[in-house]
Amino acid sequence: MINLATRCGQLELGAKNTKTNGATMGRCLRTRLFALALSILCVPMALAQSFPAKPLKIIVTLAAGAQTDRLARALAQEISQSVGQPVVVENKPGAGSIIGMLALAKSPPDGHTVVITTAEPLIYNPLLYKRLPYDADNDFSYVTQLTRNLGVIVANRDVPGNTFPEVIAYARANPGKLNWATWGPGSTPAIYLEWIKKQNGVDIAAIPYKGTAPTLPAILSGEIGLTYLAIGTAAPLVQSGKLKPLAITGATNSAVLPNVRSLSEYKSDPYLTSEFHVYAPAKTPNATLERLSTEFSKALRTPLLEKLMANTMLPVGSSPAEFGASLKTKKVEAAKLFQALQIRPADAPQ
């Protein structure tokens, strides 16, 4: 290659044989183009190998102590061991996850800051709010879908009725007397409430909280009568008699609460997307996204995470491309659900 480069230099000074010179210059040009292409291809490989170059930060859009938070901290521990860098978890709850997502959107697109959140910010919030302080389509890069989540509708011990039909019968006979904790409009608990109200013709008041952590003391004390909880959060409280289980969300029963019937059996399940997602800022390099996806997927298969998720969350660990395709489908399904519930866009919370 050095000899050819020397020869190219000689040709540029003006050799006399035009035919020979043309052929040799063609070879020279092809060699240079090949070297350039090879160097371009090596850039993402080098980026992936050098990442991460500093500590990582995981923003969690729900409060400390929530299932999302516990999952994030376990993942941070495993990923830190894998990549040899500290991984810090920072909780930024509130405003329907808008606060945490906005913080991510303003972060450098180098992959060192990601968010773990629910389906709400990119699937439901664009349908709920006329204007958002972030662009759901352009401000974020897809990393992975972490899990599919199992949930349960629960009641405070003093709520009249021990089964879903009994509580619905009480609510129908006593409009407005029962209330339900949500995490704001468009959150998973809020959509379950709206669907149950529509399907059963009941009036139950929605009371917003900043995630699971503040919801738990409210429902245990009787400040709130009903809500949706992740099954991993609810199961110990149900098993100790502190809460009453009314129905498992989805179409199948749960091994954790085997005697509780599914909400679909009562024709009251919207088959909602209940998942945990990972996003990075827009314009994060593809090689970095792939590396992040791989690290999260590996962590999901470790004993620590398998124990944490047992019978409560189903690990997924999709690639960025798979995750993006899945989100596209779920956005269409969510639009149909919101239309059925006649949910109209409102002003975004501050």
Q: What is the mean pLDDT of residues 334-341?
A: 90
Task: Report how far residue 112's alpha carbon sits from residue 133's, in angstroms, rounded to the nearest whole number.
Answer: 22
Lowest mean pLDDT among 30-34, 101-105, 152-156, 276-280: 30-34
Of 265, 235, 239, 260, the closest CA to residue 248 belongs to: 260
Chain centroid, CA 244 distance in Å: 28
Q: What is the mean pLDDT of residues 273-280?
A: 92
pLDDT at 18: 46
- pLDDT > 70? residue 113: yes
Phi, psi (deg, nearest 5) at residue 276: -115, 135
Please give the single-letter amino acid code of residue 313.
Answer: M
- pLDDT > 80? residue 39: no
- Write down the domain spans for the chain: 2-50, 56-148+274-341, 151-266
* pTM for this model (two decimals): 0.76
pLDDT at 36: 53
Of 335, 304, 331, 318, the closest CA to residue 81 belongs to: 304
Tokens representing residue 46 in the block: 């080098």
In CATH, the number for domain 56-148+274-341 is: 3.40.190.150
pLDDT at 33: 56
Tokens representing residue 104 in the block: 């991510």
Task: Report how far residue 78's alpha carbon sits from residue 80's, in angstroms, rounded to the nearest whole number.
Answer: 5
pLDDT at 23: 54
- pLDDT > 70? residue 17: no
Instruction: Find out whether 313 and 149 touch, Cβ atoms under 8 Å.
Output: yes
Question: pLDDT per residue over 310-333, tens digit each?
Answer: 878 889 999 999 999 999 999 999
Fold: same for 56-148+274-341 and 151-266: yes
- Average pLDDT of every residue of the chain: 87
Q: What order do you get walking across the sheet with 56-60 strand by strand? A: 87-91, 56-60, 113-117, 275-281, 140-149, 313-315
Selected from 3.40.50.720, 3.40.190.10, 3.20.20.70, 3.40.50.300, the CATH number assigned to the domain covering 151-266 reads 3.40.190.10
Positive/negative CA dihedral, 3, 5, 10, 14 = positive
pLDDT at 349: 64
Any idea how long the chain is? 350
Tokens representing residue 75 in the block: 């993942």
pLDDT at 350: 57
Of 159, 61, 163, 171, the closest CA to residue 118 belongs to: 61
pLDDT at 251: 72
Q: What is the mean pLDDT of residues 274-289?
A: 96
The top-scoring range by mean pLDDT among 56-65, 129-138, 289-298 is 289-298
